[in-house]
Amino acid sequence: MKIKRYIITENNQINKNYLKKYIMENNISQNEIPKIQIERPSEIIVFYNENEEIAGSLNLWHNRPNYNGRKTSYIGNVNIIEKYRKNEENIFDEIFESLRKEGIETIIGPLNGTTWNTYRYVTEKGNGKKFLLEPWNEDYYVSLFEKIGFKHLAGYISTIMEGMNSEGRKNIDKKMERLKKFSYYKDIRVESAEDKDLLTVLNDVYNLTVESFKNNFLYSELEREIFLEMYMDYEDKIVKKLFKMLYLKDELIGYVFGIPDYTELGYKGKIETMILKTIAVSPVYNGKGMGYILINSLVEEAEKEGYENVIYALMHESNISKNIGLQLGNILRRYTLFIKEL
């Protein structure tokens, strides 16, 4: 195989001429363009066979925050057509050598530019089906990353609470009873987005989201415009009753976002599971049980709406939220983010 590198962005902005060249030369579907425009890869590398036919591709993001003081790039959207999955390490050796000469010292992936986008490989699939918005991959890609020299960097889990009367539900109830004894509890209220304009709600929670996540592993700030676009793309799937905002008196201090697992329609014909996708609490109120208050409100709403299961999705193994997730239910899946030193 041979490769061709297509520069796509300059100064983190899509260069329309560069993008057009990549699209025209590789007969790229128009359906793929919105994803490129959101993820803004620095470059796309295309693999070709001896007949100039596409054999695969990957994306790279440069100028990422240095990791451990080393100049770092991210790799993602790795795709190799099955019949070309042999001796791939040779083509990756060529890519890594080029990057090394350009001063890149570390590569992290799969990570599509920012943790707001798709990242991580599933490394322990368990028995459950893929849920909505979950990263998914063939086992081949985990083996490929290990073969070309990537090592474990960080682990993540998703948990599932099956049945609303489970031990997980009891754990939440016990925590809520303790929280109600604190003086600040009387000033707490939770509101849903049910009767609100979704775009207005997203604008309201944007600053809180940045504040809440800014210290997360490999976090990089997302522009308000892209944040709004990402969520509004799912407007037809968002159930606003499952978007809960937490106020202390009149101050917005947290929110939680749940979404039905629409993938169940494909194999069950009905939706039984809600996914707890995002929870954010102002760092000022960390450790005061605000996350439990939000989760309790969301689980109660899900129960009223007839959901039978709750998935707590994609938690970093070292985050406090992991402890909440494990109290809610059992581990459903494990994921890994990898690193390679050049």
Residues 33-73 pLDDT 10s = 999 998 999 999 999 999 999 999 999 999 999 999 999 99
User: pLDDT at position 202, please?
Assistant: 94
Determine which helix (DSSP H) or strand (DSSP E) holds 299, and give its type and residue range.
helix 290-304
Range in 54-63, 74-83, 137-146, 288-297 with the lowest mean pLDDT: 288-297
The DSSP string of 176-240 is HHHHTTSGGGGGEEEEESTTS-HHHHHHHHHHHHHHHHTTSTT-----HHHHHHHHHTTTTT--G
Identity at 159, one-letter amino acid code: T
Structure tokens at 282: 């102002």
| Residue 321: pLDDT band with limits 50, 70, 90 | low
Residues 168-209 pLDDT 10s = 777 888 888 888 888 888 899 999 999 999 999 999 999 999
For the chain, what percent of residues have pLDDT higher than 90? Answer: 76
pLDDT at 80 over 60: yes
Quick one: average pLDDT of 253-276? 96
For the chain, what percent of residues have pLDDT higher than 70? Answer: 98
| Residue 319: pLDDT band with limits 50, 70, 90 | low
User: pLDDT at position 288, please?
Assistant: 86
Domains of the chain: 2-113 (3.40.630.30), 159-336 (3.40.630.30)
Q: How many CB atoms lie within 10 A of CB 100?
A: 11
pLDDT at 334 over 90: yes
pLDDT at 322 over 60: no
Identity at 306, one-letter amino acid code: G
Give the pairing type, strands 251-260 and 243-248.
antiparallel
| Residue 325: pLDDT band with limits 50, 70, 90 | low
Quick one: average pLDDT of 158-168? 83
Quick one: average pLDDT of 140-159? 96
Residues 194-248 pLDDT 10s = 999 999 999 999 999 999 998 888 988 888 998 998 889 888 999 999 999 999 9
DSSP letter assigned to residue 31? G
User: pLDDT at position 1, please?
Assistant: 87
User: pLDDT at position 167, please?
Assistant: 76
User: pLDDT at position 299, please?
Assistant: 92
User: What is the largest distance, in Å, between two alpha-carbon atoms of the chain?
Assistant: 73
